[in-house]
Structure 1
Amino acid sequence: MDQIQHKFVHVGSLKLHVADIGTGPNVVVFLHGFPEIWYSWRHQMIALASAGFRAIAPDYRGYGLSDPPPEPEKASFKVITSDLLRILDALGLAKVFLVAKDYGARPAFLLALEHPGRILGVISLGVPYFPPAPPQFHKYLPEGFYISRWKQPGRAEADFGRFDTKTVLKNIYILFSRSEIPIAEENQEIMDLVDPSTPPPPWFSEEDLAAYAALYEKSGFPNALQVPYRSLGEEYNIADPTTKVAILAVMGGKDYFLKFPGIEDLIKSGKLKEFAPNSEITFIPEGTHFVQEQFPEQVNQLILHFLHKQLKLE
């Protein structure tokens, strides 16, 4: 960890934090989800640097060590994608691989669609390729569905505000590590779904929790709630949502996302290949939503195999 360098890239008036390790000619950019941060990729960054790659993990605007935007309510996936392009330009990176987790896959897929010449391949964790569009899951799930709750301005803020930052993050890691979708009752909040005596997952140490808490104590949660949860309705008006960029989706077999309406059937049907013909999906049977932290060695092997395969095709 002490070999990871930390630098800042200016994007307009903002300074965006980038963690950076390795000196290889081939560069892999890691895009986090929520409640994650650059630190979520610690296992992968070290492994890839040891294998001769350069590994870079930014914090999105308003996350962790990156500056918050002046108007958080205007943050969006399009803005995050634009920030990533400007980071690549500032670092002089013409072509990169992307490894993206959960909603971090959306800007990764947008880059693959809009700038395919700059993307050597995409590995998505927890979600396969979908044409970027507003999701419809909330129409088929109860009112207490966590995404529906967190989309409401002020609802999550009031819920989270009853606890310290470390407890909020611990609860989210516990909830999202289960195989059931977090859904609250009508008069219950999402944080109340976790018994206070429940420990975090065994692969998530007290040191990890402290590292996450320190970063979120700096940034708070306003930007994390805006992107993704309050930006999911964005329209992209992409003429052709088909991508020829090579994509590997790594799914945990016990990821609660597989319980979202229609998802498992859609994945098994192979229909997604219509939009991403050069894509594959692989499962880690015991994996949950945080598969890269839960089974880092397996995920690292899958990433390295994909990278070497694509480089041979170049």
Structure 2
Amino acid sequence: MKVAFFSTKSYDRQSFDHYLPESSHDFTYFEPKLDHNTVALAKGFDAICTFVNDHLDEKTLKKLSKLGVNTIVLRCAGYNQVDLKTAAELGFKICRVPAYSPEAVAEHALALLMTLSRKTHKAYNRVRENNYSLEGLSGFNINGKTAGVIGTGAIGRAFCKIMLGMGCKVLAYDPYENEELTSLGVEYLALEELLASSDIISLHCPLTPDTFHLISQKTLAQMKDGVIIINTSRGALIETKAVIKALKSKKVGNLGIDVYEQEEDLFFQNRSEEILQDETIARLMTFTNVLITGHQAFLTNEALAQIATTTLENLDELEAGKKLTNEVVWKEE
């Protein structure tokens, strides 16, 4: 297949180029993200390959259909960026990468937590300035804390195991309990009970209408004072303005996020020479107990290899007309 590859970064090209010589597919890399303004780049291709911030809304999908492109491979697990109803009506075939090194994301969640717990980011900057003072660097032990994990899919399960290894009591919330985790000592609770009982809350669930603003003024009020919140899933799981208020009142003691509600026009780009226009994230960055990374939790060599190989396997199945292992379909609610 001839594939138009949108939102290309150097690490994408490097990982896919490693496997393309063994593949029958021909890739053309485009740096712009896909939306209704750039969709014309897909003309003449059999399929498109997109990432989390590409727009697959009704307008873009209709333009793709007119171009004769009805095959989409997502090089990510989430698909909230896709208008699945319109895609189904137009006859699109869509595949995703459901799991790529769950440990990569889980370990990044731990990295955020450990950095906040021991303020290593601040210590690093101090020592580089020849400042060896320990004032203001007091941290807290993770061992002995109660960790609440919301969502126990592959990534959530990996994070549960890490926290058990750190000596934490681990609580979980998920519509589907995992027997392996319960056998290891993880206790499943109702969401309200988990929020009220956890010192640390880590989000590992998809973004759906039900989970949009899962962390809100209402749910924050149910949490312990000084709670630590970690989010490596999707930005809109957190109502950012509500969390800012909770940080100001010290209801939230620490916040570590790798994703952000309005990240689309910020993340994956170098904006160091520009004036930051987003006042909400600018406000977040004024808090000394907030740590933000730019959607890098997935970015390990192992995960990139898995994304590339699974995407190519998805294309093989699509080209051969086989049953699609990783198909995304619209289900009427």
Whichever structure has more helix as a proportion of its residues is: 1
TM-score by length of 1: 0.36
**TM-score when normalising by structure 2:** 0.34
Q: Which has the higher contact order (CA 8 A, sep 6+)?
A: 1
